[in-house]
Amino acid sequence: MTGLSSESYKGARDWYPEDMRVRSYIFNMWRKVVKSYGYEQYDAPLLEPLEVYAAKSGQELVNDQTYQFTDRGDRRVAIRPEMTPSVSRMIAAHRQEIAYPARWFSIAQFMRYERPQRGREREFWQLNCDIFGVEGAMAEAEIISLGDKLLKSFGAKSDMYIIRINNRRIINFMMAHYLGLDAIQSQLMIKLFDRKNKIAPEAFRDQAIDIFGAENAKAGLQKIAHLLAAKSMGDLPEAIRDSDAVKEVQQLFTLLEKVGVTNAVFDITLMRGLDYYTGTVFEFFDMHPENRRSLFGGGRYDGLVGLFGAEPVSAVGFAPGLTTTELFLQSHNLLPKFVSTTDVYMIVLGNALTGALDVAEELRKEAINVEIDFTGRKIDKQLKTAIKKKIPYLLFIGEDEVRSEVYSLKRTETGEEKKISLERVVSTVKDRRHHVEIENDEEFDISDLKA
């Protein structure tokens, strides 16, 4: 009889303690930054009725990527593949009671059935940030500057990434009036533009010809070439350049300059494939040569709340992913060195276990995390365990230490050892925490994450 496989589900990750340190670091930084902008945390169910996604997220997401099933109550449900429909439903449910502008965030788990690849998994975590009840470009400027602040909080520089910006109103005008496409052709062309950087130029051209039809393909391809050559809004064809939507994007760029975002660019090819976007769309893109990819994106989706039977509420949001953030930090060498969440590894000498347990309890009362080795193994094996676990301090407890209340505390990293009182043990460990907090400018307790 063969044993069970030790492999995780395809497209999902096992999170070992060393992996959790990275995850906790990213999550904590996310929370710190978004809270500094006044965003408050919420959550929603892992399961939603399938129609929540079918209404507006797009058929590809619903038909090909959702984990869906019929529950025991004969209801068709899906494991959430994204958060935007759920938060829109929540806003609609308490439309009158909520104070606007409503700034909400969540850090949540999702699943999509798609081909696993670098930076894309079937099970994934995202930060979701949304501002509800604000019309005009200032809401987009805040959300984009918040994304910029998130990356910079990890130590990123502006030249490490660019922020691509477009507007769905420009896109719709471009499809219908400039390219002369009907509604079905427009949707197909939007999907094609969304895949432009993922397929060969010949494939893009051939699929565009199919959408235009043989009769209109030549003129249509010339117009697309004109669009793709535009490096700024000033380079756009006059018919598009004079539209109100372009003026809206120009105002956004002015606002972004005022808040110090200097690496935003206009990109006529940026579509953002989800159907619910109604205005500005944007994408943060990594410029590292080994990780040139979209990091995260978002945009305005004013119509989604109204689908739940409430008065429409304007909304802008974005959703950085855990994996793409981790890859960005790795590519740019921005991840710090991590140690165990345990502060002290207690090595028990001789028959001092009872006293050691008492000492450990006193340390825990002082918010020191302590692991006791009560295996009775030789000291060198206990030392190897502490080093392998990357625990910052070793505390040796024997009968003499219990009797004298003077203990040997050793710094694992440097080998420095000193005999001190229990009060000094507490102050030494907490001093290390304080220095790490100053060095990293953290509000949360990162002493359990970093060396």
Task: Map out the domains of the chain as residue ranges.
Answer: 17-331, 344-448
Q: What would the pLDDT profile of 161-218 be if each residue is shown by its tens digit?
A: 999 999 998 988 889 989 999 999 998 998 898 888 889 999 999 999 999 998 999 9
Helix, coil or strand: residue 203: helix
Q: Is the pLDDT of residue 78 over 70?
A: yes
pLDDT tens digits, 336-365: 988 888 999 999 999 999 999 999 999 999
Per-residue pLDDT, 134: 95
pTM for the model: 0.88
Task: Determine the pLDDT at residue 444.
Answer: 40
Tell me: the pLDDT tens digits for 217-228? 999 999 999 888
Q: Which pLDDT score is estimated for 441?
A: 47
What is 344-448's CATH number? 3.40.50.800
> Do 295 and 285 touch, CB atoms closer than 8 A?
yes
176-180, 273-277, 441-445 — most confident range:
176-180
17-331 and 344-448 agree in CATH topology: no
Name the token pair of 140.
């987009």
Going by their DSSP bridges, the two strands 40-41 and 406-411 should be labelled as unpaired
Distance CA(177)–CA(310), nearest Å, equals 32
Residue 328 and residue 352 in contact, taking contact as beta carbons nearer than 8 Å: no
Homologous superfamily of 17-331: Bira Bifunctional Protein; Domain 2 (3.30.930.10)
Flag the least confident range among 83-92, 253-262, 303-312, 437-446: 437-446
Contact of 133 with 101, CB cutoff 8 Å: yes
pLDDT tens per residue, range 231-262? 788 888 888 888 888 888 999 999 999 999 99
Angle, helix 322-331 to helix 17-36, in steps of 10 degrees: 100
DSSP per-residue string spanning 241-310: HTSHHHHHHHHHHHHHHHTT---EEE-TT---S-TT--SEEEEEEE--TT--EEEEEEEE-TTTGGGGTS
Q: Summarize pLDDT for 357-414 with one digit per residue, the tens.
A: 999 999 999 999 999 999 989 999 999 999 999 999 999 999 999 999 999 999 998 9
Q: What is the pLDDT of residue 1?
A: 59
Portion of the chain with pLDDT greater than 90, in percent: 73
Q: Which of 2-6, 83-87, 116-120 is the most confident on average?
A: 83-87
Q: Are 174 and 347 in contact (CB under 8 A)?
A: no
